[in-house]
Amino acid sequence: MLDFQEIDSTAKLDAKTLFDLVKLSFGVVAGAGALVALVVAYRRQRVDKAGAHRDATRLHTERFSPVVDKLGSESPAVRLGGVHALAGLADDAPDDSLRQTCIDVLCAYLQLPFTSDPGSDPAHQEEHHRYLALRKVRHTILRLIADHYRRPRGTHRS
Protein backbone atom coordinates (compact mmCIF):
# COMPACT_ATOMS: atom_id res chain seq x y z
CA MET A 1 0.00 0.00 0.00
CA LEU A 2 2.80 2.50 0.85
CA ASP A 3 5.29 0.72 -1.37
CA PHE A 4 7.02 -0.78 1.67
CA GLN A 5 9.61 -3.35 0.85
CA GLU A 6 10.00 -6.36 3.04
CA ILE A 7 13.17 -6.90 4.98
CA ASP A 8 15.16 -9.77 3.63
CA SER A 9 15.29 -12.23 6.51
CA THR A 10 17.46 -14.67 4.61
CA ALA A 11 20.50 -12.36 4.59
CA LYS A 12 23.38 -13.60 6.72
CA LEU A 13 25.78 -11.47 8.75
CA ASP A 14 29.34 -11.61 7.52
CA ALA A 15 32.38 -11.45 9.83
CA LYS A 16 33.13 -7.78 9.16
CA THR A 17 29.59 -6.66 10.06
CA LEU A 18 29.59 -8.84 13.17
CA PHE A 19 32.96 -7.43 14.24
CA ASP A 20 31.65 -3.85 13.75
CA LEU A 21 28.61 -4.65 15.89
CA VAL A 22 30.84 -6.03 18.66
CA LYS A 23 33.05 -2.90 18.53
CA LEU A 24 29.97 -0.68 18.70
CA SER A 25 28.53 -2.55 21.68
CA PHE A 26 31.88 -2.39 23.53
CA GLY A 27 32.03 1.35 22.85
CA VAL A 28 28.53 1.86 24.25
CA VAL A 29 29.34 -0.19 27.37
CA ALA A 30 32.65 1.67 27.88
CA GLY A 31 30.90 5.05 27.48
CA ALA A 32 28.23 4.09 30.00
CA GLY A 33 30.92 2.89 32.42
CA ALA A 34 32.84 6.13 32.03
CA LEU A 35 29.68 8.13 32.69
CA VAL A 36 28.98 6.15 35.86
CA ALA A 37 32.61 6.64 36.97
CA LEU A 38 32.30 10.42 36.42
CA VAL A 39 29.09 10.62 38.43
CA VAL A 40 30.62 8.61 41.28
CA ALA A 41 33.77 10.77 41.29
CA TYR A 42 31.69 13.97 41.30
CA ARG A 43 29.57 12.79 44.20
CA ARG A 44 32.64 11.65 46.13
CA GLN A 45 34.21 15.08 45.60
CA ARG A 46 31.07 16.82 46.88
CA VAL A 47 30.96 14.56 49.96
CA ASP A 48 34.67 15.17 50.65
CA LYS A 49 34.24 18.92 50.25
CA ALA A 50 31.24 18.96 52.60
CA GLY A 51 33.19 16.86 55.10
CA ALA A 52 36.18 19.22 54.93
CA HIS A 53 33.90 22.22 55.49
CA ARG A 54 32.24 20.46 58.41
CA ASP A 55 35.67 19.69 59.94
CA ALA A 56 36.83 23.28 59.46
CA THR A 57 33.65 24.56 61.09
CA ARG A 58 34.08 22.15 64.02
CA LEU A 59 37.69 23.24 64.49
CA HIS A 60 36.66 26.90 64.37
CA THR A 61 33.98 26.29 66.98
CA GLU A 62 36.42 24.44 69.25
CA ARG A 63 38.88 27.34 69.02
CA PHE A 64 36.18 30.00 69.44
CA SER A 65 35.08 29.30 73.03
CA PRO A 66 38.54 29.48 74.69
CA VAL A 67 39.35 32.66 72.76
CA VAL A 68 36.14 34.34 73.88
CA ASP A 69 36.87 33.26 77.47
CA LYS A 70 40.13 35.22 77.25
CA LEU A 71 38.15 38.38 76.57
CA GLY A 72 36.49 37.98 79.98
CA SER A 73 39.76 37.62 81.85
CA GLU A 74 40.67 40.02 84.65
CA SER A 75 44.12 40.54 83.15
CA PRO A 76 44.25 43.17 80.38
CA ALA A 77 47.20 41.34 78.80
CA VAL A 78 45.13 38.15 78.49
CA ARG A 79 42.24 40.18 77.05
CA LEU A 80 44.60 41.71 74.49
CA GLY A 81 45.79 38.23 73.54
CA GLY A 82 42.16 37.17 73.17
CA VAL A 83 41.48 40.13 70.86
CA HIS A 84 44.36 39.18 68.57
CA ALA A 85 43.39 35.51 68.69
CA LEU A 86 39.79 36.35 67.78
CA ALA A 87 40.94 38.53 64.88
CA GLY A 88 43.10 35.66 63.63
CA LEU A 89 40.19 33.28 64.05
CA ALA A 90 38.03 35.59 61.95
CA ASP A 91 40.68 35.54 59.22
CA ASP A 92 40.75 31.73 59.26
CA ALA A 93 36.97 31.25 59.41
CA PRO A 94 35.67 28.81 56.78
CA ASP A 95 32.60 30.91 55.94
CA ASP A 96 31.22 34.41 56.32
CA SER A 97 28.75 33.64 59.10
CA LEU A 98 31.49 32.37 61.43
CA ARG A 99 33.66 35.36 60.52
CA GLN A 100 30.78 37.70 61.31
CA THR A 101 30.33 35.99 64.69
CA CYS A 102 33.92 36.88 65.61
CA ILE A 103 33.38 40.48 64.56
CA ASP A 104 30.13 40.63 66.51
CA VAL A 105 31.94 39.51 69.67
CA LEU A 106 34.61 42.19 69.22
CA CYS A 107 31.97 44.86 68.62
CA ALA A 108 29.99 43.67 71.65
CA TYR A 109 33.13 44.04 73.74
CA LEU A 110 33.38 47.65 72.61
CA GLN A 111 29.78 48.23 73.65
CA LEU A 112 30.29 46.95 77.20
CA PRO A 113 30.18 49.67 79.86
CA PHE A 114 33.48 50.72 81.33
CA THR A 115 34.56 52.92 84.19
CA SER A 116 35.87 56.33 83.37
CA ASP A 117 39.41 57.47 84.05
CA PRO A 118 39.82 58.12 87.77
CA GLY A 119 42.57 60.60 86.97
CA SER A 120 46.24 60.53 87.78
CA ASP A 121 45.76 61.11 91.50
CA PRO A 122 48.38 58.99 93.37
CA ALA A 123 45.60 57.56 95.56
CA HIS A 124 43.92 56.06 92.48
CA GLN A 125 47.08 55.11 90.61
CA GLU A 126 46.23 51.39 90.38
CA GLU A 127 42.74 52.12 88.95
CA HIS A 128 44.28 54.60 86.53
CA HIS A 129 46.71 51.95 85.24
CA ARG A 130 43.88 49.43 84.88
CA TYR A 131 41.84 52.02 82.97
CA LEU A 132 44.78 52.65 80.60
CA ALA A 133 45.30 48.93 80.04
CA LEU A 134 41.62 48.30 79.25
CA ARG A 135 41.59 51.36 76.99
CA LYS A 136 44.51 49.81 75.12
CA VAL A 137 42.42 46.67 74.56
CA ARG A 138 39.56 48.77 73.15
CA HIS A 139 41.89 50.76 70.90
CA THR A 140 43.44 47.53 69.63
CA ILE A 141 40.01 46.23 68.63
CA LEU A 142 39.27 49.44 66.76
CA ARG A 143 42.68 49.36 65.05
CA LEU A 144 42.30 45.73 63.96
CA ILE A 145 38.88 46.36 62.47
CA ALA A 146 40.09 49.51 60.73
CA ASP A 147 43.18 47.72 59.37
CA HIS A 148 40.99 45.04 57.83
CA TYR A 149 38.92 47.67 56.08
CA ARG A 150 42.01 49.48 54.78
CA ARG A 151 43.64 46.46 53.15
CA PRO A 152 43.92 46.91 49.40
CA ARG A 153 41.78 44.79 47.13
CA GLY A 154 43.51 41.66 45.96
CA THR A 155 45.23 40.99 49.29
CA HIS A 156 43.82 38.53 51.80
CA ARG A 157 41.18 40.27 53.81
CA SER A 158 38.39 38.87 55.89
Q: Which one is predicted more confidently, 154 or 52?
A: 52
pLDDT at 156 over 80: no
pLDDT in tens, 116-139: 888 778 788 888 888 899 999 999
Q: What is the mean pLDDT of residues 47-52?
A: 89
pLDDT at 153 over 80: no
Domain locations in the chain as residue ranges: 61-150
Q: Rounded CA gap, 14 and 150, in Å?
A: 78
Name the band, by pLDDT with cuts 50, 70 and 90, for residue 80: very high
> Residue 125 has what pLDDT?
86
Name the band, by pLDDT with cuts 50, 70 and 90, for residue 9: low
Percent of the chain clearing pLDDT 70 (strictly above)? 90
pLDDT in tens, 87-105: 989 888 888 888 889 999 9
Q: Which one is predicted more confidently, 155 or 157?
A: 155
Q: Rounded CA gap, 89 and 86, in Å?
A: 5
CA-wise closest residue to 87 among 156, 34, 38: 156
b/e string for 143-154 if b means 16 or more Cβ within 10 A?
ebbeeeeeeeee
> Residue 144 has what pLDDT?
92
